[in-house]
Structure 1
Amino acid sequence: MDFLETPDIQILLGVAVALVVIGASAFYIYASKKPKGCLDPENFKEFKLVKRTQLSHNVAKFTFELPTPTSVLGLPIGQHISCRGKDSQGEDVIKPYTPTTLDSDVGYFELVIKMYPQGRMSHHFREMRVGDYFAVKGPKGRFRYQPGQVRAFGMLAGGSGITPMFQVARAILENPKDKTVVHLIYANVTHEDILLKNELDGLATNYPDCFKVFFVLNEAPEGWNGGVGYVTKEMIQAHLPAASPDIQILRCGPPPMNKAMAAYLEALGYAPEMLFQF
């Protein structure tokens, strides 16, 4: 073992040891800096409302501050949070919502909320002002997404059911390694009811090969070039990927729409394992 005592060998061993120590230190620093999610699945945590943007007469975007400018909410793609508020009688109400932001949006999260006249949680959002705190826990939900798990998604959304679709679509399209194609049919009553219209149009413009959106209105304005009436079986055939083991159809909307879409999809040959309802 005398060869280990030569100066050259000792120098080489010293360099090797130093490199191992540096590598381990770098890994530890990287791991320790990886942001930890702010959500707690068992307990409600409160987040401060820092901005409220009115988008229409009954729709607003609420921006909530996370503890630090580099904090992330920690919500897996396609999952939602449980939100707690007070109704008009002062009673607690809990309702699920899907943020329109991702963990790539650090330091804050946003909810786009449609407030209904008789909605119990809608009352809470109408009364919220900048500086108020909002109780949230999570993540919640059965949906799990891994990049490339399917060749294409077909999405059927109605009204505020667009928010989980928007979250999933953003995550796919903003990941340059994810080649999944997204086809969306989005139904509303009037043009003013379309949530995230500018954002969806932006995705269609920026990712023309990977994102297609078809808007459907019950009450279409003059010159409207989208669908008119309710979503039909023919619209699904024309704008969503055909039944195949490597595609999945997601749907989220009012109960009557979900029921009608389930019947159409079954008639078109989509197997149960190709379908998911938020």
Structure 2
Amino acid sequence: MEHLLESPVVVGVAVILASLLFLFLKGLRSKSKKDPITLKDPNIKYALPLIDKEEISHDAKKFRFGLPSPQHILGLPIGQHIFLSAKVNGNLVIRAYTPVSSDEDHGFVDLVVKTEDDILLRTELEEVAESHPDQFKLWYTLDRPPKDWKYSTGFITENMMKDHLPSPTDDVLILMCGPPPMIQFACNPNLDKLKYPEARRFAY
């Protein structure tokens, strides 16, 4: 008898908890939809203050620009880039960049600025490749390479992966690091074409 009396209570509590969870998740979705967007019009230039900068290498820096409020997100569509314009030695310079931050970040946008032929940790990577040729293979691709460039040019492609990655076997793990658009539109689609299982990939 006691068991029959207690069962409706247990069910009722479960229903209440499920309802609260639903309302909580709904509230999170509603809140995310209300995040104010900075880039409302692609035809308008937006002045963003530089709030921090970090030196990553001798020729690369990460610049953090503030958005209009701590609640703002950039609002850049996935796969798109922004144009950064500035006066350098009296001349107007305009460059395209893909932010290294995302719309999960509020109140700021991060850009890494470096020369086209500068590769982070290049010296260290090439030392490892030379010291361990059977264990470490190194290959580069640049969108604007220097004249004497002997590696790949342009975005990551299926053929590039096929030529330079190990075959998709159970003991192979593919590690990816880079801007979300690169992972989503260049790396993963080509890994899919080459039959690399999703369980053997990790992006960070």
Q: TM-score, normalised by structure 1?
A: 0.37
> Higher strand share goes to which structure?
1
Higher relative contact order (CA 8 A, sep 6+): 1
